[in-house]
Amino acid sequence: MKDVLTAIKPVKTFAVAMATMLALVPVAVEAVTARSVFSSVRCDVSSLPPEKRFVADMLVSRIEKRTPPSGQAGVLLVRFAMDGKIAGENAKVSVHGGEAAVSAGCFRGLVHGAGVLLRRMRYGRETFEVDDGTFSFEPKKPLRMAYFARHFHNWYHHASAKELADYIDDLVLSGYNAFKFQCSYPTADRAGDSDTEKRVFVDVSAKALARVHELECGFCGSGGNNQAPLDSPEELRGVPNSDRKRGNLGFNVCPSKPGGMEYLCEYRKRQLKELAGGAMDYFIYWPFDEGGCECEKCRPWGGNGFLRLIEQLEKLNKGAYPDAKAIVSTWVFHDDDWAGLYRWLESHDGVDYILADSHTDFPKYPLEHPVPKGIPVITFPEISMWGRSPWGAYGAIAMPKRFESLFRQAERISGGFMCYSEGLYEDINKEVVNGLYVNPGAKVDDLLRSYASLYLAGAAPEDFVRLCDIFETNHRFPRNHSRPRFGDVPEGDAELAAYRRRADEACRIAERMDGMIVPNLRKSWRWRLVYLRAMIDREILLSRNAAPESARRFFDELVAIYHAERQLADWRRTGKGGYTTPQYPALLTKAE
């Protein structure tokens, strides 16, 4: 790419005054004067180190995917530059006279700024438009982390290195600044999978982690817990959790048994050797799901045995990565767990963050009892697994109102979030959660409009807002079921009729949007997941069947998008797993 490129004078259009347009991205807007039309883009990255100039490719490739270059209008010149006067990861974007300038105090800020510019554009088939003006990215909550759960043969488990890197890029462009994912092979799958599968997984891990570091984002690794491989000694197994929300795969090791702590420490040493290398910015210690032991010496696990285990694992982790910060999760803690943790924190100095959240509302304990020593709290939005099962089996999940409500509960004490993701199907929820933590004053409908303008370009953003509203209203099937069950719902039921009316409206909206989206995005996985959700919901509700034959082609497409062939085959064979794939015999041939 040439260092300096000349821009053609753009065509001026009309002044922009609509407040809704200014709210499409969670950034500060200093001034807007006019809108200009372009048909291609060029970048000047001459002031950046050679290894950082790929930010130009990130920007250009995404614009050209929506609006392929043509000679219909001018060329937008985008200049990237570092500016030591801009604090932290903030960024400033200025668009004037056919040129755009993106500046930041650090490289990650430049990427965030590029994302701001992408979201200021309106994409058409031959040209795109962008407002003249000055915009800034100024996130209010400092830690914004995505946790990719790479296990059980879901999309993250089988995605290629390029697919993972592209998705990481998208999230950083939207404002994410840290990631967590498994680098060593997932414990739950270790015993049953081949050495080749494990080598591929670790290779993809290394490349994905390298991309995180190239973007100057933080990376969080598991600090270890008492979950052990499936072939761990039975005599070391712990007492299962009595609270079903805490999980029970049955392979947790009790650190209070003779040899238990030693086994877990040796296993942790093996895991550290398998990490993909490079810097480790955070380690998180996880109590439950999976984890826990309720023997007399360990309970309450979160306020007792878990903390004793952390002390030993922390020594190993700090020995390998002395600068890594420690995050202690309190996932599904009870009050006795919280009380024990608070006592421990008073005498322990190694904790940098407390992660707090639950399956339902935000826990009351940290709201009513300040965390000792002012340790920052981060939340754990459950964007993947709430209210529907199997989680991704129906296409896109959108619950903007729920996540705004959860954010408001914890807004006063939170310094960021780590959202848990099982796949691509909750990408809309990722956008909403991040947008609120970047700008707590944002309205979720505006965040949805921003998402539609970028990822569903060409379609009317208001259609997408309405579609998401229907998805959330219809999220749980009649009678509040997480799975489609109709045995207790008579055919003439008023609730069922209301669900069907909304589902019909969603299909009409989806069909209209499908005819408007720019061609290159019509086949994108983001749009297809939205479209498929509308179609699948209608077929299920009309047929009163969880897997109707009329929806088979939609289910087939979901399996392909998710790379879920292995997960589906395992579920069909064993009746277990299949958490993010449609549970139907999609792979059966006519001969079978």
| The pair of three-digit structure tokens given for residue 70, joined into one six-digit string | 């043509």
Assess whether 194 and 74 both reside in one domain.
no
Identify which has the larger pLDDT, 218 or 15: 218
The model's confidence at residue 588, banded by pLDDT at 50, 70 and 90, is very low
Residue of 518, 524, 582 lying closest to 553 (CA atoms): 582
Secondary structure element (H or E) that encloses residue 313, with its range: helix 305-320
- Considering the domain architecture, whether residues 416 and 482 belong to the same structural domain is answered as no
> Is 590 a residue whose pLDDT tops 60?
no
Same domain, 494 and 374: no
Share of the chain above pLDDT 70, in %: 92
Q: Are residues 540 and 392 in the same domain?
A: no
In a domain, 401, yes or no: yes
pLDDT of residue 583: 85
Task: Give the pLDDT confidence of 264-319 residue by residue, as tens digits.
Answer: 999 999 888 877 566 899 999 999 988 999 999 999 999 999 999 999 999 999 99
Which has the minimum average pLDDT: 150-154, 465-469, 535-539? 150-154
Residue 575's pLDDT is 83
Residue numbers of the domain that contains 99: 11-137
**CA dihedral of residues 353, 358, 360, 362 (deg, nearest 10):** -30
Rounded CA gap, 136 and 30, in Å? Answer: 8
Domain co-membership, 247 together with 334: yes
φ and ψ at residue 291, rounded to 5 degrees: 145, 170
Lowest mean pLDDT among 197-201, 230-234, 286-290, 369-373: 230-234
Of 120, 84, 98, nearest to 8 (Cα)? 98
Report pLDDT digits (tens) over 249-263. Answer: 888 999 999 999 999
For residues 261 and 398, give the distance between their C-alpha atoms in angstroms, rounded to a whole number: 42
Q: What pLDDT shows up at residue 31?
A: 55
Query: What is the reported pLDDT for 574?
Result: 86
- Residue 540 is predicted with a pLDDT of 96
For 543-555, what is the mean pLDDT?
93
- 4: in domain: no
CA distances from 361 to 145, 152, 235, 302, 391 (A): 20, 27, 37, 19, 19
Here the tokens at position 171 are: 């999230």
Residues 288, 395 share a domain: yes
Q: Which of 137, 156, 172 is the endpoint of a domain?
A: 137
The answer to the question of residue 2 being in a domain is no
Rounded average pLDDT over 464-490: 95
Report the candidate in 479, 417, 536 with the shortest Cα–Cα distance to residue 145: 417
Tell me: pLDDT of 3 over 80: no
- Residues 343-364: tens digit of each pLDDT: 999 999 999 999 999 888 999 9
Query: Which residues 6+ apart lie within 8 Å of 471 measured at CB?
Result: 396, 397, 398, 399, 506, 533, 534, 537
- Residue at 342 is within a domain: yes
Task: Determine the Cα–Cα distance for residues 253 and 259; give it in Å rounded to an integer.
Answer: 10
The closest of 390, 353, 218, 385 to 289, measured between CA atoms, is: 385
pLDDT tens-digit map of 495-545: 999 999 999 999 999 999 999 999 999 999 999 999 999 999 999 999 999
For residue 15, the model assigns a pLDDT of: 33
The whole-number pLDDT of residue 139 equals 98
What does the alpha-carbon distance between residue 121 and residue 118 come to, in Å, rounded to a whole number? 6
Cβ-based neighbour number of residue 356 at 10 Å: 24
CATH code, domain with 116: 3.30.379.10
**Per-residue pLDDT tens over the stretch 26-84:** 455 555 568 899 999 999 999 999 999 999 999 999 999 999 999 899 999 999 999 99
pLDDT for the residue numbered 4: 31
Dist. CA 456–CA 450, nearest whole Å: 10
Q: Assess if residue 169 is contained within a domain.
A: yes
- The full DSSP string for 109-149 is HHHHHHHHHHHHEEE-SS-EEEEEEEEEE--SSSEEEEEE-
How far apart (Å, rounded) are the C-alpha atoms in residues 475 and 43? 43
Structural tokens at position 115: 């994302």
pLDDT mean over 84-91 = 97
**Higher local confidence (pLDDT), 18 or 185:** 185
Strongest mean pLDDT among 7-21, 386-400, 564-578:
386-400
pLDDT value at residue 35: 83
What tens digit of pLDDT does each residue of 373-421 get? 999 999 999 999 999 999 999 999 999 999 999 999 999 999 999 999 9
Q: What mean pLDDT do residues 198-214 have? A: 94
Do 159 and 123 share a structural domain?
Answer: no
Angle formed by the axes of helices 525-543 and 461-473, nearest 10°: 40
Q: Are residues 268 and 315 in the same domain?
A: yes
Shared domain check, 434 and 491? no
In this structure, are 567 and 498 located in the same domain?
yes
CB-based contact 339:311 (threshold 8 Å)? no
Please check whether residues 47 and 155 belong to one and the same domain: no
Encode 440-466 in three state secondary structure: CCCCHHHHHHHHHHHHCCCCCHHHHHH
Give the integer Cα–Cα distance in Å for 492 and 340. Answer: 53
Q: What is the pTM of this model?
A: 0.91
7 band by pLDDT with thresholds 50, 70 and 90: very low
Please check whether residue 466 is in contact with residue 510, taking contact to mean a CB–CB distance below 8 angstroms. Answer: no
For residue 29, the model assigns a pLDDT of 53
Residue 426 lies in a domain: yes
Q: What is the CATH number of the domain that holds 208?
A: 3.20.20.80
Residue 113 predicted with pLDDT over 50? yes
Are 123 and 524 in contact by the 8 Å Cβ rule? The answer is no
Residue 589: predicted pLDDT: 36
Instruction: Give the lowest-confidence range in 7-16, 144-153, 169-178, 262-271.
Output: 7-16
- How many folded domains does the chain comprise? 3
Residues 447 and 431 sit within 8 Å (Cβ to Cβ): yes
* φ, ψ at 130 (rounded to 5°): -145, 140
pLDDT, averaged across the chain: 91
Which of 441, 474, 506 is at the close of a domain? Answer: 441
**Residue 558 falls inside a structural domain:** yes
Q: Which of 84, 115, 137 marks a domain boundary?
A: 137
Q: Residue 215 pLDDT more than 70? A: yes
* pLDDT tens string 419-451: 999 999 999 999 999 999 999 999 999 999 999
Give domain status of residue 585, yes or no: no
What are 244's two structure tokens? 């079903």
Distance (Å, whole) CA 408 – CA 444: 12
Token pair for residue 191? 């015993």
26: left (phi over 0), alpha (psi -120 to 50) or beta: beta
One domain, residues 277 and 341: yes
Is the backbone peptide bond immediately before 129 cis, with ω within 30 degrees of 0?
Answer: no
